[in-house]
Structure 1
Amino acid sequence: ATIRRCVEDLNPDPSHPGCIYSQMHMCLAPCFQGCTDEEYQQEVGRVVAFLDAEGQPLIRGLETDRARASEALDFEAAGKLHRRLEKVHEVLRQKPGLARNLRDLHAVIVERGAQPKSITFFRLRGGEIHGPFHLSLDENVARPVPLDQQLHELLALPPRPEDSPSPSPWEHLSLLARWYYSSFRTGEILPLGPNQEIPHARLIRLCRKVLAPA
C-alpha cells in the first residue's frame, strides 16, 4: 500500500468516509485513522530513506536475494524478486531530475552566451545558484591556457566558511525550477555528484550542443 493518494490536509477522524483507494487497501487510510500515528511516521520514514539513498540499499538487497534464489534453483522466487526489482527501477525512472536531497543538489548549468560562440555558466551548489560565468569558445581566439584548465579556474567556487549562515534556498530553487521545467528552455544542465567534481569532457560536449545551430 502507498502512504496516501490524497493531497488534502489531514484531520484524522473515524467518521471520515475515506475513498476508493482506502476501500481497496491501496493506502494507509490516515483520513479515518486506518493506521496509528506511529505506523504512518514509520512508513514516511521508509520512503524518505528510499529517496535519500536513491533506492540503492533496497536494490542491492533484492539483487542479492534474487541471486540466492537462482543459485538454489528456486526460479519462482527469483522471478518474483526480479519483478519487484523492475518496479523499484520504474519508480526511480519516474523521479524528476532535480528531485534529490537539497545538500546533494549540485550541477553546472550551460546556456548560450550573449556573444557569438560564447557560453554562460551557472554553478549550482546545495541548491544555491552561483554565477554567471562567461567563456568564449571561438576557435579563432588564441588560448594560452588549455580549455580544461580554463573551465576548472572559471567554475571553481570558494569553500563556504563553516560559520557562515546557510542562505535561504527557496528563491534559488524557484528560479531553477522555472528554468528547468520551461518548455522554452534552450540550455542544458550537468548534474554533479556529492564531491562536485566536474567532468570537463562531458561539459565541453554540452557546450557544443548548446552552440549547435537549431
Structure 2
Amino acid sequence: MSVSPIFEHELSFSPELATEVLRAVPARAGVVALFGHSSTDRPFLMQSANLRRRLQRLLLPPEGQTKRLNLRDRVARVAWRETGSELESLLLLYRAMRTVFGADEARRKLRLSPPFTVRYAVENRFPRIYVTNHLRRRSLHTTFGPFASRLDAERYREAVEDLFVIRRCFLELHPSPDDPGCIYGEMHKCMAPCQQRCTDAEYHREAERALQFLNTAGQSLAAEHEAERDRASADMLFEQAAAAHARAAKAKSTGAIADALVGPLDRLRAVLLVPLRVATDVPQVQVFLFADGCLRGPELVSVLGVRLAKEQVEVGSSLFAQPRMMAAVALDAPGQHSEASSANAANAAELSPEERMLAVIAKLEDTAGASDTATLGDHLAMLRRWYYRPEKQRAGVLFQPERDAWPVRKLVRAAAKLAAPEPQVQPAPAEGDARSEADPRASVEPVTSSEQQ
C-alpha cells in the first residue's frame, strides 16, 4: 500500500539536484519519507524537529571519512509533512509505518507496548485483582489504567489489597476444610475461601467493595468510613470515631496513589491541548481526543478573543483591580493578517470560544475508534508516553470529563495560556546603564572649574 497520500509534499530527488530539493524542504518539525528507485522498495520513514537539517545529513555528500548513514545514491523521491507538535509527529509516523510495514512491525519499530493495568478478575468464582499488560475487549470495564510502569501498578495493587480481605493467590481454588491455606489467611488478611471459612456470597460482597473502590478511586470506601465516623461521634464513641477517621484517611491516600488518568479503560476519555511549535497569525492550539480506545486528532482551535486575567495574587479579585476584564476585546485588526487568517477570524467571530472548543471536540468524536485490542494498546502506549513525562518536558495539558460533561471554561483558559506568547526577557542593563536609568542627570558629565573659566 502506498504511503504517499499521508504526506502533503513530494519532490523527485537526484544527487545533482540535492541542493535545490533541500532548499524546498522547510526547517521545521515533521515526518519525512524517502522512496527508493524501485517501486517494491519500502520507504525510509522518520520524524525530526528540523526536516531540512536531518535531510542534509542523509542526502548531501559526506565530509571526509564518516560512518554516518548516507542515502543520496538510493533515494528517488522525498515526501514530507509538517507537524505542529511532537505528539502529532508520533501519531503521523505510527500511521505511516502501520500502512507500510503492518501493525506488528510498526509497533516494534516505535517500541509501543501496552501499558500495565490493574484488572479485577470478575469471571473467577473468587475474584481477585492482579497486574497485567494484556488487554481483553470483554474485560475492559474491570481493567484500570494506564499506569506509568509496572512498579506503579504493583504498588497500587498492594495498597488496595491491604484495605480488603480478598485473596491474593493466583491458584485455581477447590474449597475444602482440609486445604492447608496460606499465611495471609493466618494473618486474617484473607477470608480464606480455600478453607471454606466464608460462603461465596460473603466473599463476593467483599470483592464487590474492592471493585467499587477501583471504580471510584477510593471515594466509596472513604465515604463508608466517614459515615461510620459520624455515627460513632454522634453516639459519643470517640475512640471508634478516631479509628474510623484513620481508616477513611488511609482509603483516600491509597486512592491518591493512582494518577487522575487511571480509570476503567472502557470509560477512559480525555482531551489533550498541545501548543503549536510554529507561530501563526491567529492564536491556535492543537486538540487531541482519546475516546473509544483511540487517540484522535489533531484539530486546531482558535483562542482569538480570549483575554487572560492576571493572577489574583498579583492584583486581587476585585473588578476595581482588574477593570479591563470587563472590556470588549477586538477579534482582529484590519489589515493585520492575511486573507486566510482574516477568514478564520471571521468564522471565529461567529462563535464564542466555548462553542469553538465544543465544536472541535464534537468533530473529533465523529471519527472511528480502535478496531481491536492491539490498536487500543498502541494508542494507550502513545498516550502514556506523552502523559507520564515530567511536567517540564510534557508540552500541553490533559482534561477529563467532570460530571459527564467537558469542563469547557477550563479548556478555553488552558488553551489561551498555551497559545499566549512567551514573555520577552529583557537583558540586564550594564552597571553604567543602570546608573543612567536611575538618575537621568548622571549621563551629563560634570563641568570642571577649568572649563568654567
Normalising by the smaller structure, the TM-score range is 0.7 to 0.9
Unaligned runs of 5+ in 2: 1-160, 173-178, 306-330, 333-344, 424-453
CA deviations on 1:4-40 (whole Å, 9 max, x unpaired) are 89xxx9569x99xx9xx96994965xxxxx763998x
CA deviations on 1:39-62 (whole Å, 9 max, x unpaired) are 8x8566543331013333322222
Task: Find the aligned partners of 1:37 and 1:125 in 2 and give their Cα distance.
Answer: 44
* Conservation of the 8 A alpha-carbon contact between 1:186 and 1:210: no
Q: Residue 166 and residue 154 in structure 1: after superposition, are their counterparts in 2 closer, same or farther (change >3 A)? A: closer
Aligned residues: 201
In the TM superposition, residue 185 of structure 1 has moved relative to its aligned partner by 0.9
CA deviations on 1:75-119 (whole Å, 9 max, x unpaired) are 111111000010011011111122100122111100002442320
Task: Find the aligned partners of 1:177 and 1:154 in 2 and give their Cα distance.
Answer: 23
Higher mean alpha-carbon deviation, 61-70 vs 50-59, is at: 50-59
What secondary structure is seen at the aligned counterpart in 2 of 1:131?
strand
* Aligned match for 1:144, one of 341, 349, 366: 349
Task: Find the aligned partners of 1:85 and 1:62 in 2 and give their Cα distance.
Answer: 5
In the TM superposition, residue 137 of structure 1 has moved relative to its aligned partner by 2.8
Which one scores higher on RCO, CA 8 angstroms, separation ≥ 6?
1
* Conservation of the 8 A alpha-carbon contact between 1:109 and 1:190: yes
| Amino acid in structure 2 at the alignment position of 1:102 | L
- 2:213 is aligned to 50
* Aligned match for 1:80, one of 213, 233, 243: 243
The answer to whether structure 1 residue 199 and structure 2 residue 407 are counterparts is yes
Task: Find the aligned partners of 1:202 and 1:130 in 2 and give their Cα distance.
Answer: 21
The answer to whether structure 1 residue 175 and structure 2 residue 338 are counterparts is no
What secondary structure is seen at the aligned counterpart in 1 of 2:371?
coil
Task: Find the aligned partners of 1:194 and 1:167 in 2 and give their Cα distance.
Answer: 28
Structure-to-structure mapping, 1:46-195, within 5 angstroms: 46-116=209-279, 117-139=283-305, 141=332, 142=345, 143-145=348-350, 146-157=352-363, 167-168=371-372, 169-183=376-390, 184-193=393-402, 195=404
What secondary structure is seen at the aligned counterpart in 1 of 2:400?
strand
| Amino acid in structure 2 at the alignment position of 1:199 | P
Q: Residue 128 and residue 115 in structure 1: after superposition, are their counterparts in 2 closer, same or farther (change >3 A)? A: same
TM-score, length basis structure 1: 0.74
What secondary structure is seen at the aligned counterpart in 1 of 2:260?
coil
| Amino acid in structure 2 at the alignment position of 1:83 | A
Structure (1 or 2) with the larger CA radius of gyration: 2
* Aligned match for 2:417, one of 184, 209, 212: 209
Q: Residue 131 and residue 208 in structure 1: after superposition, are their counterparts in 2 closer, same or farther (change >3 A)? A: same
Unaligned runs of 5+ in 1: 29-33
Q: Residue 138 and residue 57 in structure 1: after superposition, are their counterparts in 2 closer, same or farther (change >3 A)? A: closer
Task: Find the aligned partners of 1:70 and 1:200 in 2 and give their Cα distance.
Answer: 41
Q: Residue 205 and residue 149 in structure 1: after superposition, are their counterparts in 2 closer, same or farther (change >3 A)? A: same
The root-mean-square deviation of aligned C-alpha atoms, in Å, is: 3.7
Higher mean alpha-carbon deviation, 140-149 vs 102-111, is at: 140-149
| Amino acid in structure 1 at the alignment position of 2:236 | L
Task: Find the aligned partners of 2:195 and 2:370 in 1 and give their Cα distance.
Answer: 32
Higher mean alpha-carbon deviation, 202-211 vs 168-177, is at: 202-211
Task: Find the aligned partners of 1:119 and 1:37 in 2 and give their Cα distance.
Answer: 60
Q: Residue 81 and residue 110 in structure 1: after superposition, are their counterparts in 2 closer, same or farther (change >3 A)? A: same
Structure-to-structure mapping, 1:29-40, within 5 angstroms: 36=194
What secondary structure is seen at the aligned counterpart in 1 of 2:263?
coil
Q: Residue 76 and residue 178 in structure 1: after superposition, are their counterparts in 2 closer, same or farther (change >3 A)? A: same
TM-score, length basis structure 2: 0.38
* Conservation of the 8 A alpha-carbon contact between 2:291 and 2:365: no
What secondary structure is seen at the aligned counterpart in 2 of 1:144?
helix
In the TM superposition, residue 157 of structure 1 has moved relative to its aligned partner by 4.5
